[in-house]
Structure 1
Amino acid sequence: MMSSLYGVYGASGCGRGIMPLARKQLQQGGISLDRLVFVDDRPEASLINGHRVLSYAEFMQEDADVRHVVLAIADSAVREKLAARCALDGVKPWTVRAENIVLMDGVVLGEGAVLSPFVAITSNIRIGRHFHANLFSYVEHDCVIGDFVTFAPGVKCNGNVLIEEHVYVGAGAVIKQGRPGKPLVIGRSSVIGMGAVVICDVPPGTTVVGNPAKPLLRG
Structure 2
Amino acid sequence: MRDVIDACIASGQDWDFLGYVDDDPSEPHHAAVARSQDKVLGGMEWLEDAPKETHVFIGIGTGSVKANIDAQLTRLGLSAGVLVHPTASMGRDVTLGPGSIVCAGVRLTTNIRLGRHVHLNLNTTIGHDVDVDDYVSINPLVAVSGNVRIGARSMIGTHAAILQGLDLGPDSVVGGSALVVKDVDEGITVKGVPAR
- Whether the 8 Å CA contact 1:167–1:191 is kept in 2: the answer is yes
- 8 A contact 2:52–2:78 mirrored in 1: no
Do structure 1's residue 155 and structure 2's residue 165 form an aligned pair? no
TM-score (ref. length: structure 2): 0.90
Amino acid at match of 1:188: P
Aligned residue-pair number:
189
> Retained in 2: the 8 A contact 1:23–1:36?
no
* Percentage of matched positions with identical amino acids: 31
Matched residue, 1:186 = 168
Distance across 2 between alignment mates of 1:140 and 1:213:
20
Provide the aligned C-alpha RMSD in A.
Answer: 1.7
What residue in structure 2 maps to residue 133 of structure 1? 120
Contact 1:105/1:123 (CA < 8 Å) preserved in 2? yes
Rg comparison, structure with higher value? 1
Listed as ranges, the gaps of 5+ residues in structure 2 are none
Unaligned runs of 5+ in 1: 1-17, 179-183, 215-219
How far 1:58 moved relative to its partner?
2.9
1:114 and 1:133 in contact (8 A); partners too: yes
Could you tell which deviates more after superposition, 154-163 or 65-74?
Answer: 65-74
| Structure 1 counterpart of 2:183 | 201
Q: Counterpart amino acid of 2:134?
A: D
1:118 is aligned to 105
| C-alpha contact (below 8 Å) 1:21/1:97 kept by paired residues | yes
Contact 2:174/2:190 (<8 A) preserved:
yes
Cross-structure match for 1:71: 58
TM-score by length of 1: 0.81
Task: Measure the CA separation in 2 of the matches of 1:85 and 1:52.
Answer: 22
- SS of the counterpart of 2:149? strand
> 1:195 and 1:30, CA in 2 relative to 1: closer, same or farther beyond 3 A?
closer
